[in-house]
Amino acid sequence: MITFIDSNIIIFSNIQEYPEHETTVKKLEEILSNGKGAVNSIIMSEVYHKLSKILDKKQAKSRTKKILDSENILYFPIEKPTIEKAIKLSGKSQLRINDSVIGQHVIDTNADGIFTDNVKDFKKIDKLKIIRLRGSKK
Asked if residues 90 and 96 have their Cβ atoms less than 8 Å apart, the reply is yes
Instruction: Report the domain count for the chain.
Output: 1
Q: Say what percent of the chain tops pLDDT 90.
A: 95
Question: What residues are paired with 5 via a beta bridge?
Answer: 115
Cβ neighbors of 70 (< 8 A, separation 6 or more) are 37
Q: Compute the distance between CA of residue 84 and CA of residue 51 in angstroms, rounded to an integer.
A: 29
Give Rg (Cα) of the chain.
14
Which of 126, 123, 124 is CA-nearest to residue 137? 123
Residue 25 belongs to domain spanning: 2-132
Q: Which residue has the higher pLDDT, 133 or 138?
A: 133
- Does 98 reside within a domain? yes
37-75 confidence digits (pLDDT tens): 999 999 999 999 999 999 999 999 999 999 999 999 999
- Return the CATH number at 117: 3.40.50.1010
Pick the range with the lowest mean pLDDT from 13-27, 30-44, 124-138: 124-138
- Does 137 reside within a domain? no
Q: Say what percent of the chain tops pLDDT 70.
A: 98
